[in-house]
């Protein structure tokens, strides 16, 4: 995989996360109609699942790379921060 491809994935993750934040802000403002709120919520859930998938894929890749080097990586320790 090229570094350009990694950059695209990173930007995709960052832009998706940015979009989720915008959705949250618009929902918190309370200016949307009920229908628009539900639509925004559904989109936010979908984007959140996409981000979770990207993070899980990245975690798996790191584990695979680390296991090739003979290292063990525990992400549970990092989640306590």
Show the tokens assigned to 37: 């709120």
Tokens 């949250």 found at: 24
Three-class SS state of 30: coil
Q: Distance between CA 75 and CA 80 in Å, rounded?
A: 9
Closest CA to 40 of 56, 51, 26, 30: 26
Here the CATH number for the domain that contains residue 32 is 1.10.287
**pTM summary value:** 0.71
Domain holding 14, by residue range, is: 3-80
Instruction: Encode pLDDT of 25-69 as tens digits.
Output: 999 999 999 999 999 999 999 999 999 999 999 999 988 888 876
Q: Distance between CA 57 and CA 6 in Å, rounded?
A: 12
Residue 81 has pLDDT above 50, yes or no: no
Q: What is the pLDDT of residue 66?
A: 84
Please state the domain count of the chain.
1
Q: Distance between CA 70 and CA 73 in Å, rounded?
A: 10
């Amino acid at each position: 995989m090229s570094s350009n491809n990694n950059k695209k994935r990173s930007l995709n993750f960052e832009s998706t996360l940015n979009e989720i934040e915008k959705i949250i802000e618009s929902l918190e403002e309370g200016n949307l109609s009920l229908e628009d709120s539900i639509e925004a919520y559904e989109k936010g859930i979908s984007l959140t699942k996409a981000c979770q998938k990207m993070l899980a894929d990245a975690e798996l890749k790191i584990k695979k790379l680390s296991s090739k080097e003979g290292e063990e990586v525990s992400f549970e320790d990092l989640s306590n921060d």
